[in-house]
Amino acid sequence: MKPNLTYLAGAALALGLAAPAIAQDEPLQVGFVYVGSIGDLGWTYEHDQSRLAVEEHFGDAVETTYVENVPEGADAERVMTQMVLNGADLIFTTSFGYMDATNAVAARFPEVYFEHATGYRRDHPNVSTYSARFYEGRAVIGHIAGHMTESNIVGYIASYPIPEVIRGINSAYLHAREVNPDVEFRVVWVYTWFDPAQEADAAQALIDQGADVIMQHTDSTAPMTVAAEAEVVAFGQASDMEQFAPFPRVASIIDNWAPYYIARTQAVMDGTWESVDTWDGIAPGMVELGEFSERIPEDVRASAQALADSIADGSYHPFTGPINRQDGTVWLVEGEVADDGTLAGMDFYVEGITGEIPN
Amino acid sequence: MMGIDPVTLIVALIGASTPILLAAIGELVVEKSGVLNLGVEGMMIVGAVSGFIIAINTGSPWLGFAAGAVGGAGLSLIFALLTQYLLSNQVATGLALTLFGLGLSSLMGEAYTGINPPLTPDLFPQALRDIPVAGPILFGHDLVIYLSVLLVAGVWYALRHTRMGLILRAVGESHDAAHALGYKVIRIRICAILFGGACAGLGGAYLSLVRVPSWTEGMTAGAGWIALAIVVFASWKPWRALIGAYLFGGIAALQLRLQAAEINIPVMFLDMSPYLVTIIVLVIISSDRGRAALNAPAALGKVFHASG
C-alpha cells in the first residue's frame, strides 16, 4: 500500500547517514497525508494529481512521499511524525480532521513546515492553512441546475452538517432560485465523505422523490452511475468525473491544488515560507469549472460562463444581499457582501430552503 | 410535503439488503458448523473486486458473479487452513482476514477505478414489470436477488430436513461427539467455510456490479460487519436472517427517503435502531440460559483437535 514511502524511508536514511556533507544538494522532501485512497476519483485523487504536478515542476529538486487512507485521529499523528523522521521538510495534511494532529506534530518539529487543508488552527509559526472557495463553483452549477430542472426539484447529497457543506448548499440554492423561482432543494445527509453504496442509495432516494438534478458533496462517483441509469443531470465533484460526460455529468467543480503546492514548495526552497491562511477561489485557479457539456442549452452555457467570469474578476460575490436567513431575518441587506468570518462559520440555511440542518 | 412511495421503497430496500443477506446466510452456515469467521468484510470486498475485474474483461456480469464467489471462497480457504489445520485463534484470524482482504482488493483493483461494468439485466420481461405495485416488487429484479431468497430457503431446508444439515449441526454443537461418531469434523467445517466465503464474495460482487455499480477501494464500508450482526440478530435461523437483512436495508432506505421527503424525524435514532436491537440480542445471548434458547451453536469458535 505504501511502497514509495518505504522506499524513500530507506533512501532518506541512507542519505542522512552517508552524506551530511552534500546536504546542499539533497532534494527537498515533501510529504502528503491523505484521508482517502488516491483512486477515489474525487478529493484525494485531486490532491495526488497536484502532488504529481509538484514533482513534474521541480524535477530532481524535490522528492515527494504520500500515505493514503490515514484515519483522522491519533494515527495521523504517528504518520506525520514518521514522515518527519524520514526527512520531510514540508508536509501537506489534506483533511479537516487532521487539525489537532498537524498542530501537535508541528509543535515538536519547529524546523519542519506544515500545511493543513480546510482547517483554521495555526498554533505555531510553522503551520499554514489553506482551502478553496468551493461555493464560487457551487454558484455556477446551481445556476445550471436551476435552468436544467424540469420537475423543479434538485436533490443534494450532503456529507456532514459543517459550514463548508452548508455554504455550498446555500450558494447553489441562491443561484438556482435566481433563474428559477420555483426550484426546491431536497437535502439528504449521509454522514460520510466516502461510502459508494450509501451515496448511490441517497441518489436513488432523491430521484424517487422527484429530483431530476443531483448534486453531491461526497467523494465517490456512485451518485453519477445512479444518475446515468435514471437519466437525470449530475455534476462532477472535487474532480472532473469526465468519464460520465456529456451526460449525466454536465459540468463539474474541480479542486486544483497544484499552483498552491508548487508556490509553497518554492517558498520553502527560497526560505520565504511563512505561516499564512489561504482561501482562494476561481480567480487564482484553485477552484476550476469542468467543461460545460453540450447537453446544457447554449444560452445557459453562456450565462454560466458569464457568472463564473464575474466571480473571477471580482465584480460579483456569490453571497451578495439582499439575502435573508431561513427564519426570515435579514442576513445581508441590498448590495451587502458576506464577510469571510460569517462564511467560514456558516451554520444556517438561507430563506427558501425548506429542510432543517440536523444538529 | 411529498409522501414516500411504498413501492419504490420496497424495491430499494430489497436491492440494498441483498449484499448483506448473501453474506449473512453464508456466515450463518459457517457458524452453524461451529466456526466463527470475522473475515466477512474482507471476503466481501475481495469478491467485489474479483467479480468486477472478470465482468469487465469478459463483458459478462454472470461470469463476474461467479468470479466474485470464487474470490470470496479463495480468501476463506486461507482462513480454513489457518484455523482448521494450524489451529489458530478464529477471532484473530478472522480480523486479520478482513485487513488482508481490504489491502489485497485495493491492490487488485488499482487499474479498475472509474470504469462502468456491463449491465446486469432484469430477469422478467418489461410487461410483467409494468404491472402496478406487484410488478416492480415481485418481478423488477435481477437473477441474484431471486437467487438470494432461494439460497435462504435452501439453507433452511438443508439444515432442518436433510442428513447433511443434521451432520453440520452436530459438528457445530459438539465436535467431539461428531468426531466420535466418525464424521470428518475438519473436512465438514472447511466446506462450510468455503460456502460462507462464496456467499460473501457473491454479495460483494453484487455491490460492485449492481448496487453501486463501479469499483472503488473500501466500497463495502462495513457491510460485512452488519452481516455478522444479522446472524446473531437472527439467532442462527435462516428466515430470520432474511427478515433481519431486509430490516437493516429497509431502515437505511427509509431514512434516506424521509430526509428526501423532508419529513422531520431524528434520522440518527432510526439509523441506530438495528444496532440497538443487535446489542440487546447480544446481551441476552451472553447469559447461558439465553444462549441455549437463542440457538447459538454450542461449539461456536472453539478449536477442534482430534486427539486420542
Q: What residue ranges define each of the domains in chain B, with the CATH number in brackets?
A: 6-111+124-293 (1.10.3470)
Nearest CA in chain A to B208: A197
> Amino acid identity, residue A33?
V
Together in a domain, A199 and A221: yes
**What local confidence, expressed as pLDDT, does residue A12 receive?**
43
Q: Which three cell numbers stand for residue A221?
A: 462517483
Q: Are A23 and A91 found together in one domain?
A: yes
Cross-chain Cβ contact A192/B221 below 8 Å: yes
In the block, cell 446481551 appears at: B283
- Cβ contact B267–A200 (<8 Å): no
Residues A212, A247: contact at Cβ < 8 Å? no
Q: What is the mean pLDDT of residues B97-116?
A: 89
Q: Which of A109-113, A193-197, B128-132, B297-301 has the highest mean pLDDT?
A: A109-113
Q: Which amino acid is at B208?
A: S
Q: Which of B8, B14, B105, B256 to mutate to test the interface with A (most CBs of A within 10 A)?
A: B256
> Does A101 reside within a domain?
yes
pLDDT in tens, A112-125: 999 999 888 899 99
Whether A28 and A59 map to the same domain: the answer is yes
C-alpha span between B12 and A38 (Å, rounded): 30
One domain for residues A140 and A223:
yes
A128 and A174, same domain (yes or no): no
Instruction: Give every CB contact of residue A288 below 8 A, 6+ residues apart in sequence.
Output: A137, A253, A254, A255, A256, A282
Chosen for mutation from B217, B264, B265, B268 (greatest number of chain A CBs closer than 10 Å) is B217
A146 and A96, same domain (yes or no): no
Q: What is the CATH number of the domain that holds A17?
A: 3.40.50.2300
Are A162 and A49 contained in the same domain?
no
Percent of chain B with pLDDT over 90: 56
Are A128 and A138 in the same domain?
Answer: no
Residue A61, domain extent: 3-132
State the CB neighbour count (10 A cutoff) for residue B251. Answer: 18
Measure the N-to-C terminal CA separation of chain B; round to a whole number of Å.
Answer: 72
Q: Do A119 and A187 fall into the same domain? A: no
More confident residue, A93 or B283: A93
Asked if residue A327 belongs to a domain, the reply is yes
- Structural domains of chain A, count: 2
Q: B294 — phi, psi (to 5°)? A: -90, 5
A73: left (phi over 0), alpha (psi -120 to 50) or beta: left
Residue A10 inside a domain? The answer is yes
Q: State how far the Cα of A210 lies from the Cα of A155, in Å rounded to an integer.
A: 9
Cβ within 8 Å, pair B216-A220: yes
Is A266 a domain residue? no
Residue A273, domain member (yes or no):
no
Nearest to A198 by CA among B263, B248, B144: B248
Q: pLDDT tens for residues A33-86?
A: 998 878 777 888 999 999 999 999 999 999 999 998 888 888 899 999 999 999
Nearest of A182, A189, A221 to residue A205 by alpha carbon: A189
Rounded distance between C-alpha atoms, residue A74 and residue A62, angstroms: 28
Give the pLDDT band (50/70/90) at residue B295.
confident
Does any domain span residue A243? yes
Clarify whether residues A168 and A221 are in a common domain. yes
Q: Is A276 contained in some domain?
A: no
**Which residues in chain A (14-33) have CB-CB distances under 8 A to chain B?**
none
Partner-chain contact B221 A196, CB within 8 Å: yes
Beta-carbon separation of B221 and A243 below 8 A: no
Judgement on whether residues A72 and A128 belong to the same structural domain of the protein: yes
Is the domain of A150 the same as that of A179?
Answer: yes
Assess if residue A260 is contained within a domain.
no
Asked if A1 is an interface residue toward chain B (Cβ–Cβ < 8 A), one would say yes
